[in-house]
Structure 1
Amino acid sequence: MKNRVVQLLFVFTIAAIMLIFLNKTIIPLSTLIGLLWPITLIGIAFVIFIENRSPQSTLAWFLVLIILPGIGVFMYLLFGRSHWRRRKHLHRSEERRVLFREILAGKSFDLENSLSLNERSTYLTQVIQKFGGGPVANETTTKLLTNGDETFTEILRAIENATHHIHIQYYIYRSDEIGTEIRDALIRKAKSGVIVRFLYDGLGSNKLKKNFLQPMKEVGIEVIEFDSILSPWLLETVNYRNHRKIVIVDGTIGFTGGLNVGDEYLGRSKKFPIWRDSHLKIEGKALFKLQAIFLEDYLYATSRLNTESWNQYMDRAYFPAQGIQQAEGAVQIVASGPSSDDTSIRNALLKIMGSAKKSIWIATPYFIPDQETLTLLRLSALSGVDVRILYPGKGDSIISDQASQSYFTPLLKAGVSIYSYKDGFMHAKIVLVDDEVASIGTANMDIRSFELNYEIIAVLYESKTVLDIKNDFEQDFKDSIEITWAAFQKRSIQKRILESLMRLISPLL
């Protein structure tokens, strides 16, 4: 890391000396910038044009470059460059990930399933697996964890009972009270001989300091940063973040869902004294796929995604595959990311929602759908399906909040019910269809989660947990205010203009 920083400083120093030399001897710096600036803008616009992006994305970039050229160039360098250059590196990673899955699939680990699902659920499991989802797993129990108290209590209990390994991965991990409590629990287990691997995203957890992480390293915990933002590859990695939240203990208990680690998730934030969120506890055969996803990310982040490195994980210590015989229903884990050729999670959710006969209920803190998702929801509502969207009454980002609300008009006109959670921030990411199939995970209902982030969801079929999700939805609707079409029409002209502007750049968010 230090060598890379030194290299960057050296390059910047040489560039600065050259500019000073040009300014004093050949051509004034102001004249040089005046010549290069329009060439840069035209060059970026041409590159965007020939990349054949979606019309919405192309138009959004053109508008930003025209209206705010300075900010536009900076945004493009950070977020806008085509996937191709980054994908050249990620493609090699994806090839190794696929090989890892194939080798892992060749291990039996007693994972044969004898499913007893209805026709619709069976069909969905088969199609979603073709879309890139994992195999469906029976003999798996799940427990819905509502809000931070339930979630962190269960996670800490599992950590305290660990005997072989603890794998922990978060997009945001804060060094506050709950973050310190979990860290100290990990340190205690590492001292007792348990293997601990701690993986955090370089952007989402960029505030983690050395003095917080060092005590973990000192007891042998592997502390790994996923795609550091302090590197020569900043411009290629900053837009592709690992948004997953995974905890796995001994390969027998796992967790995933909407909660990161931070005091705000316990309602300790002044801005959001009530933080509404949902997480999932998983036990049984579905952990096979969850463990594989963590190991893929861990081996990638440590530059050890190769056959020599992963062989040590191909045993029952990490994949015990202990089925829960009395479990009902089934679970299917679906993951996607920028290295994938297709948007597996988005395609899975479209297929699930498209199968609805009675209802589609969605909870999401950010709602920036692509055209296919928007059309599906509108047509479903027009055909008589009960479509509801549960959305924060108060968002944590003005830009994304206004962009999200710009999509409300066509939905409300089609008969979609939109509920504003009045008591605090709604951060859960859940889809419930016909009280029979549900998904819960890390993916928001937005373009970023579908195309740019590493995400994960668990799809639940005919499980008792699906009914618990329904009960939570019903309570949340009671704690919300329904946004009617008549009331939404009364918003000010200034708000409408702001929504429209944010809508234009929403493909960039």
Structure 2
Amino acid sequence: MNIFYDSSTCLVVLIYWLLIVNITYRVLIKRRSIPTSMSWLLTIYIIPFIGIAIWFFFGELYLEKKHKKIARKIWSISNQYLKQLKSCKYIFQTKNSEVATSLFQLCKHRQGMFGIKNNKITLLHDNKQAIKILIRDIYLARKNIEMVFYIWKPGGIADDVAMALIHSANRGIHCRLMLDSAGSLEFFRSPWVKKMKNSGIQIVESLKVNLVGVFLRRLDVRQHRKIILIDNYISYSGSMNLVDPNLFKRSSGVGKWIDLMTRIEGPIAITIGMIYSCDWQIETGLKILPKLPNREMLKNKSNHNSSVQVIASGPGFPKNVIHQALLTTIYSAKNELIITTPYLVPSDDLLHAICTAAQRGVKVSIIIPLYHDSILVKWASRAFFSELLEAGVKIYQFKKGLLHSKSILVDHQLSLIGTANLDMRSLWLNFEITLLIDDNKFSQKLYLVQKEYISNSELLDKNIWFERENWKIILEKIFYFLSPLL
């Protein structure tokens, strides 16, 4: 009995140390940032069994083998399509404003395209109104409707969208719906799935969460995009999930969720459609690339001097492109930089870029929620406040609900709106999308919305902040240590 016990103990110890050595090797070989690598190493050595379990589920960015194989094929197909698209020179804007030139040049290098011109852009900052306009567009659709959302929560006005989709599908409109498995769990458990499928709507459960998936890919890689495409001409994107703002997470006590969406008519829908096509093909293996644009798409001449670019992130997409775009944007600012984000856990590079902007004379404002739905991220965010305040950054805490908008405005000219938060998950893990808009008129509208956010916010007092209790400082440091893993 003792021999069996001793043998078992030795075997467990051997397996344990083999796992530790293997994980250590994987952490070092990946050439992550030093803080991230140190956080992982300390986690697996200080809390070994828990640390190993966390690494097993969240340590490496990978998809299932099926997804990987499809992703490799997609880019060869997309590159061929991109060559054809680039021949449609009449849709491209080759000149940009001074503040946007570096950013759009980066995108040209990383994604192979200039910005797209002749788009009519509308900023929607009221969720309920945005959904009403969307319902109207769905009823008016003539050919196809494609959607992808992180969260679709049945109930209220969200059910009106479902009914509009069913009505359109019944009259022959080709409808496709892709929803994240974890984020839209309530939807997939609701009767709406059967109702929609019976009407002919194609529904895909993206990055499906199940027991088998635990062993095939990271659980926390999520489909976080919010995209709507109608007739390959009208497109929506922004921070809004498909939920009724009067019902969503009301029990959490954070108040109404505040979002920003863009509605765009014009050829930018083609490039957004490419991203949707890649996501659809990763999940289904089926290719649904949109038709190439024709000169009819340039009928809108109101914004002929503007330029719109789309950047997408996620496994299989250009690596670190959103992170690079954010850094380029911040360093391009000369006069004023306004950022809104619900989750402020920036990389060291982003933190230093923001602080440097303030120190070189740029008026920098960051607007975040006062009330938060994530305790972990709330405390991790606070760990960055001191450095930001010392650099001269103004931090506003929005009081009238959970500010979920993700936006950046540079010098009243360049706007970034999308789904990516200023945290590690959005920058390096999830499938995200961000619109880059070089348009003075649109930026003025965004500025007015951000000014309204500021008027409904509390300015964080630097003196009061540095006199906070010691237990809060300790808690912030603990969560700062975990921030590279969030």
Residue 427 of structure 1: aligned partner: 404
- Residues 61 and 221, structure 2, Cα contact 8 Å, conserved in 1: no
Q: Which amino acid aligns with 2:432?
A: E
Partner of 2:172: helix, strand, or coil?
coil
- TM-score (normalizing by structure 2): 0.91
CA distance in 2, matches of 1:115, 1:315: 19
- Residues 140 and 286, structure 1, Cα contact 8 Å, conserved in 2: yes
CA distance in 2, matches of 1:359, 1:86: 43
Residue 96 of structure 1: aligned partner: 74
Counterpart of 2:263 (choices 281, 290, 295) is: 281
| CA positional deviation for 1:33 | 4.6
Q: Which stretch shifts more, 358-367 or 113-122?
A: 113-122
CA distance in 2, matches of 1:44, 1:114: 47
Deviations 1:214-236 (A, max 9, x none): 11111111101112122634341
| CA positional deviation for 1:142 | 0.8
| 1:400 paired to 2:382 | no
- Residues 87 and 338, structure 1, Cα contact 8 Å, conserved in 2: no
Percentage of identical aligned residues: 28
CA distance in 2, matches of 1:338, 1:109: 28
Residue 334 of structure 2: aligned partner: 357
| CA positional deviation for 1:444 | 0.7
Q: Which amino acid aligns with 1:215?
A: K
Deviations 1:114-157 (A, max 9, x none): 56643443443223221337531111011111131122112111
| CA positional deviation for 1:27 | 7.8
CA distance in 2, matches of 1:41, 1:401: 31
CA distance in 2, matches of 1:285, 1:292: 12
Counterpart of 2:438 (choices 457, 461, 478) is: 461
Partner of 1:280: helix, strand, or coil?
strand
Which ranges in structure 2 are unaligned for 5 or more consecutive residues? none
- 1:91-490 equivalence runs, <5 A: 93-94=71-72, 96-107=74-85, 108=87, 111-113=90-92, 117-132=96-111, 134-207=113-186, 208-209=188-189, 211-230=191-210, 232-235=212-215, 236-264=217-245, 269-270=250-251, 271-304=253-286, 309-310=287-288, 313-314=290-291, 321-328=297-304, 329-490=306-467
Q: Which amino acid aligns with 2:223?
A: N
Residue 19 of structure 1: aligned partner: none
Deviations 1:4-54 (A, max 9, x none): xxxxxxxxxxxxxxxxxx99x898977865664454344433432343322
Deviations 1:249-299 (A, max 9, x none): 111211000011123476671323322211111111211111111111112
Q: Which amino acid aligns with 2:458?
A: I
Call closer, same or farther: CA 1:288–1:296 in 2, change over 3 Å.
same
Q: Which amino acid aligns with 2:178?
A: L
Deviations 1:339-365 (A, max 9, x none): 235211111121122111101110001
CA distance in 2, matches of 1:48, 1:370: 18
CA distance in 2, matches of 1:388, 1:279: 21
- Residues 134 and 333, structure 1, Cα contact 8 Å, conserved in 2: no
CA distance in 2, matches of 1:388, 1:98: 42
Partner of 1:220: helix, strand, or coil?
coil
Residue 49 of structure 1: aligned partner: 28
Q: Which amino acid aligns with 2:275?
A: I
